[in-house]
Amino acid sequence: RAIMWGAFMMFGMLVMWAILMVELVHPVSSARVSYDECERCGRAFGSVMNSVLTLFQTIVAGDSWGRIAVPVIETDPLLAGFFIMAILTISLGL
């Protein structure tokens, strides 16, 4: 039962951060960042579903965080704090 509630809370946090990523990160990543070798990176935060998948892939599974986040942070350094807060609340908070 505890695992079920933990998974439910993790999904809730992923959805909350995904909504914020769509609102704050997507305008930067789609318009001002060019991704040369990554086909999916430009649309990674385009919708809530894509954002949940991207956050799960990068934070929970630990797959290619730098490929998506580093170009966005280089373009808009204020988003670094936003990404750090997402990592802390999802991976360490839960």
Interval 17-75: pLDDT, tens: 999 999 998 888 888 777 777 788 888 899 999 999 998 888 877 777 788 888 888 88
- Stronger pLDDT, 93 or 45, i.e. the higher one: 45
Q: Tell me, what's the pLDDT at 31?
A: 81
- The alpha carbon dihedral of 40, 46, 47, 48 has a sign of positive
Predicted confidence band of residue 94 (pLDDT cuts 50, 70, 90): low
Predicted confidence band of residue 78 (pLDDT cuts 50, 70, 90): very high
Give the C-alpha separation, 94 to 48, whole Å. Answer: 20
